[in-house]
Structure 1
């Protein structure tokens, strides 16, 4: 147990002592998520500033449209649109199984914000239209104070917890169950005051489906952001008839020259499930090296312990991904991932190579 605690202390210290859009963009630029996104906790639709930054600062060679006005997402003061499409080709090599390769449409999403009172009162929609049938991910009304120091929103939303990674398959997002596939219905309040950013949400705890008991889910996140570093903490408690789940996590970021570091460690406690109580750990350490404008090399190491009471059941995942943004609103991602788990489970020891195309507005 002491060794495991030591590992997570090292993970956080390494991340904070040396250490659209993904959170490493915010670390690289020394900004908060709300600077570039309509959603104060990040993810989903970019605002006018976020689209301007993605058009001018992110690509290797922006195309000059010479039309006098470039895309910002705003059709008027009252209507804004956005979209995101990801398509990929992947090769998977699993021990004792035939390797396979496939083309896939990962997702196509449309964003819409209707502002009844610009910069104050708006309705926001995040709709996944493919693959499969149409599926609503976020749909809420949001009210900002006059000085934008606090807000409140109600409806269906992503929960405030940890780093909002684009990769929902990361252990910290998959194991916690809080990611961009599991929004929930309820209310959220947040503050944006100086270097502080904090949110508290009370929701059904059913991942966007109908309420089925009297329990509720409480999610909280607080982050202190400076230009070179940031540190935050998260907590989640879900009181459900099938069992209680409690999450606690720390996360951090640091910019060292052209490298942006991210780190997160989470402790997950489940009670009342078949088999009684189970404690889990999940962690991430990620380095993003901006080789040149439009070129980013992402290296990550992940850790997952599915049961604190069992020995030698830990899993790790190592990734190397080159992200190339040749022109505005288009990104190519070429990567490899190596999974290392218990020898008896072939799936936990697979190798993955992929090429992904991401077009976004």
Structure 2
């Protein structure tokens, strides 16, 4: 018996390039761009190839794109011979991107379950295929996967016998004010950001913080290829006051 397994980030590894190939956000995740819509309609839809799915773009007009992410968890147990089933909402986000011109756009996203939101301006087309992003968003630490219960994000919300598990990136974490710049040269992607304090709900909107109190995040990705085999290797360093996080990721 053979079973098909897919790792994350699935399509980035298939294409041998960064997650920003398919997403509006340079760090990947959330709203897809034109190419991401094409990939999703052919690879992810239950009715692959249908005209209604294939023609969907999320474009309201020539400047505005709207989309969202919805996930439910279905949990089944058998208790004394009886099947018990529960549905748990994991994610309900709505997002929009306003393309002001060829190089400037504005992104906004609202979490309908927890009330969190993010909004930022993106300026692309800079030297070395660079960009600048400024607004309200979480720093680009590690892999921006959908599953927040993963230990590389926030772990399980309801912990079992552990006081702490996972990293600090719980879905209840409020995005801070941030400025980020990045470059993409060949198979290398580099980004550096500075944001207000956000770990342990310590953010006060940035007021009263000295520069050395801010959160600094450095990220580097490399996408090597050997024939038809694609690779992925990256690392991130985050420093906020006395808190230091660092990690490697790849595939």
Using the size of structure 1 for normalisation, the TM-score is 0.55
Taking structure 1 as reference, are residues 73 and 206 closer, same or farther at Cα in structure 2, changes over 3 Å only? same
Alignment partners' CA distance in 2, 1:74 and 1:22: 27
Q: CA deviation at 1:88?
A: 2.1
Alignment partners' CA distance in 2, 1:52 and 1:197: 23
Residue 161 of structure 1 aligns to a residue in which SS? Answer: coil
Alignment partners' CA distance in 1, 2:71 and 2:45: 17
Higher strand share: 1
Residue 117 of structure 1 aligns to a residue in which SS? Answer: coil
Q: Please state if 1:210 is matched with 2:208.
A: no
Deviates more, 1:173-182 or 1:105-114: 173-182
Q: Please state if 1:116 is matched with 2:100.
A: yes
Counterpart residue number, 1:135: 116
Counterpart residue number, 2:132: 152
Q: CA deviation at 1:146?
A: 5.2
**Which of structures 1 and 2 has the bigger CA Rg?**
1
Q: Please state if 1:73 is matched with 2:58.
A: yes
Counterpart residue number, 1:49: 35
Gaps in structure 2 of 5+ consecutive residues: 1-6, 79-83, 155-165
Q: Please state if 1:193 is matched with 2:179.
A: no
Q: CA deviation at 1:78?
A: 1.2
Q: Please state if 1:230 is matched with 2:215.
A: no
Q: Is the 8 A contact 1:168 1:181 kept in 2?
A: no
Alignment partners' CA distance in 2, 1:197 and 1:128: 28
Per-residue deviation, residues 340-361 of structure 1 (Å, max 9, x unmatched):
xxxxxxxxxxxxxxxxxxxxxx
Counterpart residue number, 1:178: 169
Q: Please state if 1:34 is matched with 2:15.
A: no
Q: Is the 8 A contact 2:139 2:178 kept in 1?
A: no
Q: CA deviation at 1:181?
A: 4.7
**In the alignment, which of 66, 72, 83 is matched to residue 68 of structure 2?**
83
Alignment partners' CA distance in 2, 1:179 and 1:250: 19
Per-residue deviation, residues 139-169 of structure 1 (Å, max 9, x unmatched):
0011012577000111111211112221111
Alignment partners' CA distance in 2, 1:179 and 1:230: 25
Q: Is the 8 A contact 2:99 2:106 kept in 1?
A: yes
Alignment partners' CA distance in 2, 1:205 and 1:185: 9
Alignment partners' CA distance in 1, 2:192 and 2:77: 40
Q: CA deviation at 1:222?
A: 0.3
In the alignment of these two chains, the number of paired residues is: 219
After superposition, where does 1:233-252 map in structure 2 within 5 Å?
233-239=235-241, 244-252=242-250
Q: Is the 8 A contact 1:158 1:179 kept in 2?
A: no
Alignment partners' CA distance in 1, 2:128 and 2:170: 26
Higher relative contact order (CA 8 A, sep 6+): 1
Per-residue deviation, residues 173-212 of structure 1 (Å, max 9, x unmatched):
2233136653321211111111111111101122585336
Taking structure 1 as reference, are residues 51 and 33 closer, same or farther at Cα in structure 2, changes over 3 Å only? same
Measured on the aligned residues, the alpha-carbon RMSD in Å equals 2.7
Alignment partners' CA distance in 2, 1:199 and 1:179: 22
Per-residue deviation, residues 248-273 of structure 1 (Å, max 9, x unmatched):
111111xxxxxxxxxxxxxxxxxxxx
Residue 177 of structure 1 aligns to a residue in which SS? Answer: coil
Counterpart residue number, 2:108: 125
